[in-house]
Amino acid sequence: MLRAPTARAKLALFGGTPVRKKPFSGPAVFDASERKNVLEVLQDKALSRFMGSPSADIDKQLAIPSAAAARYNPQHFMFIGGRKVRALEAEFAARFGAKYAVAVNSATSGLMTALGACRLGPGDEVITTCLSFNATAVSILAFNSIPVFADVDPETFCMDPEDVRRKITPHTKAILVVHLLGRAANMDAILGIARERGLMVIEDCSQSPGTLYHGKPVGTLSPIGVFSLQDTKNIVSGEGGVIITSDPDLARRCRLIRNHGESIPGPEAGPEELCNLVGFNFRMTELTAAVALAQVKKLKANNQQRNVNARYLAQRLAKLPYLRVCEGFASDGNVCHVLPMLYDAESAGASRDAVLAALRAEGIPTGTGYPRLMPENPIFTKKIAFGSQGWPWEPFEHGRARVYRREDYPVAASLIYEKFIWFYHVNAPNTPKDMEDAAKAFQKVFSNLEALREYTPSGPKVYKW
């Protein structure tokens, strides 16, 4: 008589048959619209139409709203870019209800541009979350400002407003908010603090295009918002970013910082005009804009599919022991970018790393989110960024020495190092049928946890796309 397979033998990690062998699809959903736009650029041989020097109509170009800029074409080259770049900006501004959109070559450069446009400079402190991709904090360093990190709310995983309040000093000039995984931060509280203290607020919306907060799109809740078009995001063009604002001064400065703005002011320009115009090239190519223009028109449909998939998977996993699926990331105006879950390793008796290894062996891409908290990157713990002598911290920290310590962010540390399990592929063109494979794999692994209790995985702990 054949014996039933043991729990260990059932798992693909130990030689069993995986639930899924086919890779999940990435978020790039292309059709004839991308091809048409790209071919137009190639046929026109118009790979970029930026001009980095002044022209007779430069003041008009710097002031013109994005909708009108898309129709304005007095010459072959323009300081504010080519046809596809300006068409993308007009589409973005219209979609998010802003007067201006400024396309850039990445969301990282978009954040740098936005912070520079807000006239932040050496020694100014900017409070941001401790839980995000490195670019959020590194962008603060671009103009020699100093990042200050706040812990996160245990439900939204976005900045905790009370910790923001605790981190404010006389040197604080701005708050850089991140709407993480498609979930909106508590903007009522954050904007209230900013009004009380006279602080600028910038929104990092890289993972949240289309998310609403009290009916308003994130990115429009503060004076300036930044979106990502990188290959894993909701709008995909490979690389790229877009800044939105309805403030004409911020729009003008973003356009200048993006494109060698130091070439524009005359000899009479004063400090306010010249501030942070230091010769950057953050321009988007026409090819990138051609793809992004087609992609942004699909945003609503693709976001709807993300939420359908996330809700389906959350419902299928709702009764699993030791696991809480954060279903709210696909409801109440949020757009699920990645579906987060919270795992109780102590009660389960199997380590989170073992569970993740088992899920990946079943063909399910999961991870812990980020490999570490942003302030634990050596650039911050060692306080070495520009040169090797501690710039920008050392010149401004006499009497206010800043130490970045894990214990200052207990909620975020617990999430990253103990609880988080992220499922990455809720995106279209994946469907509930694909989510069913994920559900079966989770159920298989969580039904065989005893086989993982003595298992210690080797190799990298974080899933790579």
Please confirm, yes or no, whether 233 is among the known catalytic residues: yes
Are 142 and 278 a contacting pair, CB within 8 Å? no
The residues near 11 (Cβ < 8 Å, ≥ 6 apart) are 358, 361, 362, 444, 445, 448, 451, 452
Q: Cα–Cα distance between 294 and 312 in angstroms, integer? A: 28
Q: Cα–Cα distance between 234 and 299 in angstroms, integer? A: 7
Are 24 and 30 a contacting pair, CB within 8 Å? no
Q: How many CB atoms lie within 10 A of CB 324?
A: 16
The dihedral built from the CA positions of residue 215, 221, 224 and 228, taken in this order, carries a sign that is negative
What letter does residue 415 receive in the DSSP assignment? I
Could you write out the three-class secondary structure of 134-166? HHHHHHHHCCCCEEEEECECCCCCCECHHHHHH
Are 103 and 138 a contacting pair, CB within 8 Å? no
SS3 201: strand
Maximum CA extent, the chain: 94
Are 183 and 328 a contacting pair, CB within 8 Å? yes
> What number of residues does the chain have?
465
Residue 306 amino acid letter: R
* Catalytic pick among 84, 167, 173, 233: 233
Q: Cα–Cα distance between 318 and 327 in angstroms, integer? A: 9
Q: Torsion angle, CA of 419/425/427/432, rounded to 10 degrees?
A: -100
Q: Cα–Cα distance between 118 and 127 in angstroms, integer? A: 14
Are 276 and 143 a contacting pair, CB within 8 Å? yes
Encoded tokens for 425:
């592929």
CA angle 233/299/235 to nearest 5° reads: 25
Find the distance separating the first CA and the last CA of the chain, reported in whole Å: 44
Determine how β-strand 172-178 pairs with β-strand 224-228: unpaired
The dihedral built from the CA positions of residue 144, 145, 151 and 153, taken in this order, carries a sign that is negative
- Catalytic positions are 233
